[in-house]
Amino acid sequence: MLAERLTEARRQTDSLFEILKPEALYNRPVAERHRLIFYLGHLEAFDGNLLRGGPESEFDRLFAFGIDPVGEGLPTDQPGDWPTSEEIQSYNQKTRAAVDAMPADELLWNVAIEHRLMHAETLAYLLHQLPVEQKLFQPQAEVPARRTEAGMVKIPAGSVVLGRSEGFGWDNEFDAHTVEVGEFEIDRYKVTNGDYLKFVQDGGARPVFWKNESVYRTMFEEIPMPLDWPVYVSHAQGSAYAEWAGKSLPTEAEWQRAAQSSGIGNTGFRRWDPVPVSADPGMVGNGWEWTSTLFKPFPGFKAFPFYPGYSANFFDDRHYVMKGGSARTAGCLLRPSFRNWFQPNYPYAYCGFRCVTR
């Protein structure tokens, strides 16, 4: 089962590199991140280093770690500083063969699988920022909107369980604990491009997914602004909108309480782009959602001894919790305890928001 899941995760990440035209592989579509060529080697290096207990070769070290975009200086490497794609592919084949021959330690293999699937989403939003002519077009099914009322939903005061106590999870998901939440109201749907357009017209910052106020950049083409799709913004932009609207972003506990009986919608790699907010059945999917909660450890937190910096390096009061999932989020990451996070001015993730009043 673990081997089958790893094979499928590899298929997902391999397929992303297949949509790139050759000249795009050494590009850096997001200034704060590595060039795309890094990610071609990173996924295999991570698996090999994790399962062997550390690096053994030059490529193991070169491709070991990505960059957290916290605004402390941009990378300055040039395309010629990296190995050729042929050299990296040879390294990848050897590393995969070595990994496949190792005993299937359940915890470590789950870490390897989910790390790769997280990068399947990271790679997607990096590729999204490439000019459309540098990618091979991939079709996707149309999803019609439904006519339903928007407005807000009242959530009564009560308790909610955050985190988990058993089963596989990342270190920041432990331990499960109960939080009391007061009564609040939350938007029935994510804030849409149409909602956010009014804010932009009143001086708000424009999302990076918009070419202008009437044209939206999907993964493979530029289209008329889909006013009923969720808007994807940074935490700072979402917070500014909420303040402009006289509302707030929900806390992690509020979001989780509102989502307790929510369905799962546009997720699992079935689409490249969002769908209309009214076509999605619940809060999980069609875009991560920002909360107002800083990313901090839960009571009882213990860092993974084999990956001590996975969460602990980001308990720095500079990262905010995201919940839910996007169209490019794998199914195994949709569990209620899973926590995603980014710093507030990073605008490239597939993350929207909804507002609350208290």
Element at 341 (helix H, strand E): strand 340-342
Residue closest to 190 by CA, chosen among 294, 292, 274, 295: 274
Please state the rounded mean pLDDT for residues 181-196: 97
pLDDT bracket for residue 72 (50, 70, 90): low
Q: What single letter denotes the amino acid at residue 291? A: T
Residue closest to 78 by CA, chosen among 129, 149, 27: 27
Longest dimension (CA), the chain: 59
- Residue 73 confidence (pLDDT): 77
Which residue stretches of the chain are H helix?
2-18, 36-52, 58-62, 85-100, 106-128, 193-201, 235-244, 252-258, 309-312
Tell me: pLDDT of 201 over 60: yes
Tell me: pLDDT of 147 over 70: no
One fold for 2-134 and 152-357:
no
**Inter-residue contact 156 to 358 (CB < 8 Å):** no
Q: How many Å apart are CA 284 and CA 263, to the nearest integer? A: 7
pLDDT bracket for residue 88 (50, 70, 90): very high
**Inter-residue contact 329 to 267 (CB < 8 Å):** yes
Tokens standing for residue 130: 């490439």
Measured CA angle at 101 (ends 97, 103), to 5 deg: 145
DSSP 271-292: -SS---GGGS-SSBSSSEEEEE
**Inter-residue contact 46 to 114 (CB < 8 Å):** no
- Residue 67 confidence (pLDDT): 75
Q: What single letter denotes the amino acid at residue 137? A: F
Please state the rounded mean pLDDT for residues 51-74: 85
Tell me: pLDDT of 71 over 80: no
- Residue 204 confidence (pLDDT): 98
Task: Give the CA radius of gyration of the chain.
Answer: 20
pLDDT, tens only, 295-354? 999 999 999 999 999 999 999 999 999 999 999 999 999 999 999 999 999 999 999 999
- Residue 238 confidence (pLDDT): 98
- Per the prediction, the chain carries an average pLDDT of 95
Fold of the domain built from segment(s) 152-357: paralog of FGE (formylglycine-generating enzyme) (3.90.1580)
Fold of the domain built from segment(s) 2-134: Four Helix Bundle (Hemerythrin (Met), subunit A) (1.20.120)
pLDDT, tens only, 249-267? 999 999 999 999 888 999 9
pLDDT bracket for residue 282 (50, 70, 90): confident
Using CA atoms, how far residue 222 sits from 135, 185, 267, 328, in Å, is: 13, 35, 22, 19
**Inter-residue contact 191 to 231 (CB < 8 Å):** yes
Tell me: pLDDT of 137 over 80: yes
pTM here? Answer: 0.95
- Residue 70 confidence (pLDDT): 57
Residue closest to 265 by CA, chosen among 277, 254, 257, 253: 277
Q: How far is C-alpha 109 from the chain's CA centre?
A: 20
* Domain boundaries, given as residue ranges, for the chain: 2-134, 152-357
Residue closest to 350 by CA, chosen among 221, 243, 208: 208
**What do you get for the CA distance between the two ends of the chain, in Å?**
46
| Percent with pLDDT over 70 in the chain | 98
Contacts of 15 (CB under 8 A, 6+ apart): none
**Residue 333 φ then ψ, to 5°:** -95, 5
- Residue 65 confidence (pLDDT): 86
Element at 158 (helix H, strand E): strand 158-162
- Residue 266 confidence (pLDDT): 93
Contacts of 243 (CB under 8 A, 6+ apart): none
- Residue 263 confidence (pLDDT): 87
Please state the rounded mean pLDDT for residues 6-27: 96
pLDDT, tens only, 109-128? 999 999 999 999 999 999 99
Q: How many Å apart are CA 187 and CA 183, to the nearest integer? A: 14
pLDDT, tens only, 286-297? 999 999 999 999
- Residue 141 confidence (pLDDT): 78
